[in-house]
Amino acid sequence: DAIQLYLRVEKIPGFFNYDDAQHFQLVLRMQTLMGVTGDLLEIGSWQGRSASFMSFYIQPGEKLIVSDVFSTPANDVYPEYPSVEDVKANIIKTNPNIAVSQLMFLEGNSASMKLPPDVNIRFAHVDGGHSFQECYQDLINIAPRMIPNGVVVIDDYDHPDWPEVKPATDTWLKEHLQFRILCELNRNVAKGKKLYLINTASDNHNDPR
């Protein structure tokens, strides 16, 4: 199943690979079996390959929220900066069954990202800016919205080209003890890992520290 879905998104330029697809599917399906419901968030979508894959796992009443600078250049340099409409078109072309009403796009630097008050996140893929402050701030911003058993996936953890992502994540983890490491996974032909964190708090407003 993950193979077939991955082959559909693989045509979109990006760095989300087959291993990632297997791991995302495992976590998202585990949440469904556990009855965990909430929105899906991606910070840093580029062309929308991983967002398109995530769209296949949206359940009724949930939204896929995509936050990116989009057509505005970021601190990290990319060969091109697709617009909101470009990314939306990639998602819909890949997954024509997705309801447009279940897609939300937040344009601009994720440090100033404003999530609507009704957003509660069960799965967040963090792949935005790679500096210490950018990564740390993204995690600070999403922490209050992560529901119990919600999972945060940190991209490029322990990546030699992005050395600040690991200390930013580790610092944030020491300050948010309700988040525990679910797994730390290597990826085929990729330099960095994806770190999966789970919110173990029974009540999101109570920090077990």
**pLDDT tens, per residue, the chain with 209 residues:** 899 999 999 999 999 999 999 999 999 999 999 999 999 999 999 999 999 999 999 999 999 999 999 987 667 666 788 999 999 999 999 999 999 999 999 999 998 899 999 999 999 999 999 999 999 999 999 999 999 999 999 999 999 999 999 999 999 999 999 999 999 987 876 778 999 999 999 864 434 33
Strand partners for 195: 154, 184
Q: How many residues does the chain have?
A: 209
Angle at 119 between CA 200 and CA 90, to 5 degrees: 105
Question: What's the pLDDT at 203?
Answer: 66
Pure H helices in 99-164: 132-142
Question: What's the pLDDT at 64?
Answer: 98
Residue 6, token pair as written in the block: 């991955």
Question: What's the pLDDT at 80?
Answer: 80
pTM to 2 decimals? 0.93
Question: What's the pLDDT at 100?
Answer: 96
Tally of CB atoms within 10 A around 103: 20
Closest to 98 measured CA to CA, from 50, 67, 49, 58: 58
Strands of the sheet with 39-43, listed across from one edge: 103-107, 64-68, 39-43, 121-126, 146-157, 193-199, 179-185
User: CA 123 to CA 27: how far, in whole Å?
Assistant: 9
Question: What's the pLDDT at 71?
Answer: 81
Three-state DSSP at 169 gives: helix
Question: What's the pLDDT at 190?
Answer: 74
Question: What's the pLDDT at 1?
Answer: 85
User: CA 191 to CA 68: how far, in whole Å?
Assistant: 23
Question: What's the pLDDT at 77?
Answer: 66
Question: What's the pLDDT at 207?
Answer: 41
